[in-house]
Structure 1
């Protein structure tokens, strides 16, 4: 899938025989040039001008489908044109990042399952990529969230210990967030008048979350967000869950596609599904809540970014100034927290919405 210059098709023809190779590309100029290149090299595999999303039924079933472009979901035609126990191999992308390779084994009932592998990012499929995943001018959307945003935002600003640099730049982090915070991209803006640096998250529905950095913040950052989704909350929750899993790399993630085309992402084992985190904007009168971690019977301390080895024994929540403690059954069980305050799901149970201590 994706003929390009014909180089991959030529390698496969040399390895398998030219009669065993079919290659598709949507652009007639590419298929024409690829045929010339292959002929010059002494090979003549089947070269078809066609939409790769539809595959090529006349040559099916295939033992392998190899895509040379990235996808974020799989066309049904691919699974339908691979024989049982055949493989589909393709680069992967999300709106967050284009990174990772995926190898899927196809079952007789049309289901497919496999693991991701590092590296392998590439351009997206031209016809299969949704028409509008993100705003056309994300930088502009980020800049317009300027002074006076608090009055216009759908939720009050909040402070978090999760640094913008922690969720951008690292391939493993970006890969996981791309799977669990859907249809969301990020952008850095250094041209705004309100702050030297602005980090913004944005989605196709117009939701935006932004952090302004003036060079002074070290451990806490103010997040302003607006729109139907609370992108700052979703990212904070997804990052906390990623750290609770031990900061898994790409290779610990997998994908299952059911016969009805449902895509299910999992980590380590297909039974351990990773559900997307989506949080609609709440009512404005939601009570503020804070979390602290109890290191011993006398001392409360926050976890700082970078102190990832800390495993507090007990978690206590404080809501409107009133302490809320774990039950006797839960006391002493380890709680794993990754950012300054865990999002919601710890080893001592599911708690109300956490925030950094004020």
Structure 2
């Protein structure tokens, strides 16, 4: 007997099955770019009536151009979304509340500009948001409705201005130092016809007293290479051996201005001091000023000049003072050098005495 085969009835519908949902897109100029998979809620596809989206634009400040080398990280509900700078990133979502997270991978620290935001999206709505990275690495980013502000901009501008001012001051100081005038003046010769005190002969003993028979203080010869020195406000100048340099110094006498001049090695040094003698500047005043200057009782050369020298071991020392200009000024000299090169400081002392007489 014929046996009929039964099949389940399938109703025929004229409506085609729904096509797979499209991928999500972002707009960059006139081009379209796929950014993520179509969102999958708990089950089934989202109907046309339930379409919604979040559009996020990520930006960095012109003050932090280095951030353009790093790709920002965007996550919606914990799911990463391909992102980039300065273009809207459109992420289709189901209507409802969603959590957004943004940060920028960096060197130190590893993540900067962290920002989190919960946003509610209605059916058919596209929520427009903007993220702005901070200008200081340890600050959080700004995420919300546009326009946002770059966190840390004011502090960054202040820091940049301060750095530029410091750099400007450093360059200015270098220029001033390079163009500063030296204390030296063109070479000049002593004025002839001056009355020069006759100093006692140079002693070869270690005592401060002078002995007869020795040579007088030597003078610079015409063949000697010298440098002329004149200090601002001083009524005279003098010569030193070529290559010597003079710097400010302090002395333990009242109202005095002093300098130390020395050669490159520093073994030969001459200190020179100048101070005024207050009126009436009588003999008692000059005697007191002379006593203040010398380390021991000097030898009186004349009414205005005193001299002291000593030699201990291989070191030679010379001390001298002289009143001039009425008398109005006291000039004091102290020189020290190895015994074999003592003529260098003696010549300087002689030149100071000549020019101040």
* TM-score, normalised by the number of residues in structure 1: 0.20
- Structure with max Cα Rg: 2
Q: Which has the higher strand share?
A: 2
* TM-score, normalised by the number of residues in structure 2: 0.20
